[in-house]
Amino acid sequence: MEVRVRFFATLRDAAGRDECRLVLDPGAQGADVKTMLAECYPRLAGLIEAARLAVNYEYQPWEAPLSDGDELGLIPPVSGG
């Protein structure tokens, strides 16, 4: 299955791009994406630890199961207001 991953703010700067697509094994969780991204983009590793996961525009735990076509957002600490 394939998911879309979007990067924002510090994570986008560190990744050097604002999104990527990942091919995952069936049954993959958010945590698997975290591991893959840290390998693909070493500069993201530390930042991902402080980030929250969103799946299809809602916060989810890193253990959340993923489905084909999901849109994941990596949300670094927010600073709106």
Which of 1, 10, 36, 38 forms a contact with other proteins (CB under 8 A)?
10
Q: Return the amino acid letter for 20.
A: C
> Does the footprint of other proteins cover residue 46 (CB under 8 A)?
no
Which of 5, 37, 60, 73 forms a contact with other proteins (CB under 8 A)?
73
3-state secondary structure of 75: strand
> Does the footprint of other proteins cover residue 30 (CB under 8 A)?
no
> Does the footprint of other proteins cover residue 6 (CB under 8 A)?
yes
- Strand residues in the chain grouped as ranges (E): 2-7, 19-23, 52-55, 58-60, 71-75
Question: Least distance in Å: CB of 26 to other proteins?
Answer: 26
Q: Return the amino acid letter for 46.
A: G
